Amino acid sequence: MKKLFKSTAMAVLAALTMGTSMSALAHKVGIVDMQTIYAQVPQTAAIEKTLQSEFAERRQELEKLQGDIRFETEKFQREGTVMSDEQKQELRAKIQGMQKQLMEKGRPLEQEIKRRQNQELGKLQQTIVAAIQEVAKEGDFDEVKVKDGTIYFNPSEVTDLSEDVIDAVSKK
């Protein structure tokens, strides 16, 4: 009887152990391609359009200044041989002043554009992460990884959730 009890207990313990191993192997993993998601969600284009309109006037001002610098530089190259030394100095000083003005206006604008872009992309990233979590919960996934940070995955064992995430984000 003791032998039967021991062998039954061992069989139950082995079955339980195998059951846990099997469930540990049934780990459902999804993967997302963040570059594809950012490229395909309509919010990215909307952010780009918003930023372009927000900074259009200041960009046009800088483009005009660049055009003026080009014009004056070409003028110097064309007419430099017939100009007096005083005229050359004045034109050089004018070009240098315009270049300095371009730098003084260009750097802060570039920084402000980057700051605003990061701000808007941060909001979009929160929306995308929420959508990934939502899709993962609906699909009963145990884990979702970013494709760019994954060296290898078996496509038959791992589900690409990118399209589902794009659909979810597009609806928001």
Question: Taking the domains of the chain in order of start, what are their residue ranges?
Answer: 2-170
The class (CATH top level) of 2-170 is alpha beta
What average pLDDT does this structure show over 141-167? 86
Strands 143-146 and 29-32: parallel
> What are the structure tokens assigned to 87, written together?
């005229």
**Confidence (pLDDT) at 161:** 87
**Confidence (pLDDT) at 26:** 65
Assess whether pLDDT exceeds 90 at residue 65: yes
18 compared with 100, residue with greater pLDDT: 100
In angstroms, the CA 109 to CA 104 distance is: 9
Assess whether pLDDT exceeds 50 at residue 68: yes
Mean pLDDT for all residues in the chain: 84
Asked whether 160 and 31 are in contact (CB, 8 A), the reply is yes
What average pLDDT does this structure show over 70-89? 90
